[in-house]
Amino acid sequence: MAKKNSVGSLKAKRYTMDVIVHTFLIIIAIIWISPFAYLVAHSFRGGGNTTMYYSKFFPETFTFKHYQDLFTDKGLLDFPQMFMNTLKIACISCVISTFFVLSVSFAMSRLKWKLRRPYMNMAMVITLFPGFMSMTATYFLLKAFFGLDEHPERIHMALVICYCSGAGTGFYVMKGYMDTIPKALDEAAYLDGATKWQTFIKITLPLCKPMIVYQVITSFMGPWCDFIFCKLICRGSQDYYTVSVGLWSMLDMDKIDKWYTRFCAGSVMVAIPISILFIITQKFYQEAMSGSVKG
């Protein structure tokens, strides 16, 4: 009797524990999701009120108008162009920095050279400083190299350089992954007469596939979401704005009353490419995060 009782109470205990944990998680989830829900809902807000203030959390009527305006009313801010600018910069930077990271990781993981360890430590120290600490210096360097004042068409190139040039120092995760690939595979390839480049391309890269996906996502999202460097380098050249700078200028005091709902619409649009990329690569992403491949 007593035994049964204790089992019952144990069950009840577990049950109440589950309830408490899940309620807690649900509350956290609601808090976490509500800003996004708000953003999406208000990007479809109907009625004439386009200002920041709205009396309810969810709008009462819905319309597609703000998206329409965002893409057709280009007199003041050309959102489609900004979107394409950002897409271009992000895609180019993504390819270049992924290649940089892979190359550096390969060199760190597979090649033996004298300064390898000191270099790794140095890279570690450098990456401890956030990139924007040197932004003023970066601005003057880019200005001196490219003459951005007189050649605004070089702004995008400057931004790509800005995002890619430091990418090589972010090799730590990738190197860790490459270390788990058995060296025997490389040695076999060398024995068959492969060069280092061939080993890199034909042996290491295919095995790194899941990790490359992770790298692609992070190197795409960096430039896609960056605001600080865009603002610093674009300055007043509106034709070269990226979405983050464009969205920010929609919240200008003169514009906010009219543009706030379009700002919401624009923010939703920004999330779309990242979401697509993430959905496509999700399968690989999970593989990459779930542990190493044992040879």
Asked if 148 interacts with another protein (CB under 8 A), we say yes
User: Rounded CA gap, 204 and 96, in Å?
Assistant: 18
Give the pair of three-digit tokens for residue 92: 């180019």
Under rule CB under 8 A, residue 134 binds another protein? yes
Residue 162 touching another protein (CB under 8 A): no
CB nearer to another protein: give 77 or 212.
Answer: 77
- Nearest partner of 52 among 37, 38, 31, 70, judged by Cα: 38
Three-state secondary structure along 86-153? HHHHHHHHHHHHHHHHHHHHHHHHHCCCCCHHHHHHHHHHHHHCCHHHHHHHHHHHHHHHHCCCCCHH
Task: Return the SS3 of 215.
Answer: helix
Token code pair at residue 277? 């990329």
CB of 33 to another protein, least distance (A): 24
Shortest distance, position 178 Cβ to another protein, whole Å: 24
Strand partners of residue 45: 62
**What's the min distance (Å) between Cβ of 187 and another protein?**
29
115 is an interface residue for another protein by CB under 8 A = no
- Contact with another protein (CB under 8 A) among 173, 232, 274, 293: 232
Q: What is the largest CA-CA distance in the chain?
A: 90
Q: Rule CB under 8 A: is residue 145 a binding residue for another protein?
A: no
CB of 253 to another protein, least distance (A): 6
The one segment of 18-26, 99-107, 140-148, 277-285 that binds another protein by CB under 8 A: 140-148
Helix (H), strand (E) at residue 85: helix 79-110
- Pick from 91, 90, 74, 94: nearest CA to 238: 74
- Within 233-252, the residues that bind another protein by CB under 8 A are 235-238, 249, 252
- E strand map for 57-208: none
Footprint of another protein on 61-100 (CB under 8 A): 74-77
Rounded-to-integer distance, Cα 258 and Cα 77, Å: 12
Q: With contacts defined by CB under 8 A, name the span among 23-31, 147-155, 159-167, 218-226 that binds another protein.
A: 147-155
Which residues are at the interface with another protein (CB under 8 A)?
Answer: 48-55, 74-77, 118, 121-122, 125-126, 129, 133-134, 136-137, 139-140, 143, 147-151, 232, 235-238, 249, 252-255, 257-258
